[in-house]
Structure 1
Amino acid sequence: MHFIIGGAFNGKRAWVKNYYKVFEHNHWISAYETQTIPKELNTFDQDLLVIEGVEIWLKNLSASMGADKCRGLWANCLDNWLTWEKAALQRQLVVIGTDITKGIVPIEAENRLWRDITGWAYQDTAAKSEKVDVIWYGLNQTIK
C-alpha cells in the first residue's frame, strides 16, 4: 500500500496520476464523488486502485459513532484492502488523504473528534503502508 498525504489542493491527485500513469477513471474510488467507503475490494478486477477522500469518509463515520469504533472500522478496512492487494503480485493500492490535522484546533467538539480520528487513522495507514509520500505544491517527499 502506498499512502499519499498532503494539504488540500496541493497536487496529490495530479502527482498520483503522473507517478502511476493513471488516466482511466475506473481506477479510482473517491469520497469527493460521493462514493461510499469500500470495506472490501473483492469485486475490483484492476491491478491498480486509488482510494481518495479518506478524510470525508472519516468525517461521516465520526458523526455516527465514537472514536474507538471509527478507528476499529478503519483498521478493518485497511486489513481487507491489504488482503486484496497481497492476493496478486501485480496489485497496487494507493490511498490518498488530505491532511486536516494542522492549524488551529476547531472549537466545535464534533470537528475536534473528526480531526483526532483522522490523525489516528492516518497514523494507522502510514504504519501499514509500504511507502508514504507527502505532497506539497505538487512535489513529493518520501517519508517511508
Structure 2
Amino acid sequence: MHFITGGAFNGKRAWVKETYGVTGSWFSAYLDTPLTEDFNHVNSDLLVIEGIEIWLKELAKNFDSNRCREIWNHTINNWFIWEKAKSQRNLVVIGTDITKGIVPIEKENRLWRDVTGWAYQDLAARADKVDIIWYGLNQTIKQTGDGKQ
C-alpha cells in the first residue's frame, strides 16, 4: 500500500498519474464515490483511492472519534487484504493533509481534523510506502517491503 499526502492543490493526483500511469481503477470521494471496503469487483491490479479526508469527514459527522477510528481501521484492513490477495496488486491511497494550520473553532471541524490525523497515522503505519507531495515534488518518508510501484 502506498499512501500519498500533502496540501490541497499541491499536485498529488498529477504525481500519482505520472508515477503509476492511468491504467488502474480510480475511486474518488471528490466525485461522490461512497467509502467502500470491498474491491473484489475491481478488474485491475492498480487501485487508486483519493479524497479520503472527505470520507473521514462523513464518519466524523456520524460517529465519535473512537468509532470513526474503528470503522477506518476495519476499512483499511480490508483494503490491505485486497492488495495482498495477489502479488501484482498495488493500492495507492491519496489524502489531503488538513491537520496543519489554525485549529478550527467549530467542534465538528476539530473532530474531523483529529480523526483525519489519527486515520493518516494508522494508514502510514500499515503502508509500505509513504510520500508527501508539495508543489508537485515528492518526498518519500517511509519505504519498506518490496517497494513495488
Q: Same fold (TM over 0.5)?
A: yes
**Alignment match, 1:49:** 47
Runs of 4+ in 1 over 6 A off after TM superposition: none
> Where do 1:132-143 residues align within 5 Å?
132-143=130-141
**Alignment match, 2:146:** none
**In the alignment, residue 4 of structure 2 is paired with which amino acid?**
I
Q: Tell me the percent identity.
A: 65
> 1:111 Cα shift?
0.2
**Alignment match, 1:65:** 63
Q: How many angstroms apart in 2 are the aligned matches of 1:74 and 1:60?
A: 11
Structure 2: runs of 5+ lacking an equivalent: 143-149
**In the alignment, residue 116 of structure 1 is paired with which amino acid?**
D
* Number of residues of Structure 1 aligned to a counterpart in Structure 2: 142
**Alignment match, 1:20:** 20
> 1:42 Cα shift?
1.3
Q: How many angstroms apart in 2 are the aligned matches of 1:14 and 1:112?
A: 29
After superposition, what is the alpha-carbon deviation per residue over 1:75-103, rounded to whole angstroms, capped at 9, x for unaligned?
A: 00111000000000110000000000000
Q: How many angstroms apart in 2 are the aligned matches of 1:141 and 1:21?
A: 19
Whether the aligned pair in 1 keeps the contact of 2:25 and 2:42 (CA below 8 Å) is no
Whether the aligned pair in 1 keeps the contact of 2:39 and 2:82 (CA below 8 Å) is yes
2:81 corresponds to which of 58, 80, 83: 83
**In the alignment, residue 131 of structure 1 is paired with which amino acid?**
K
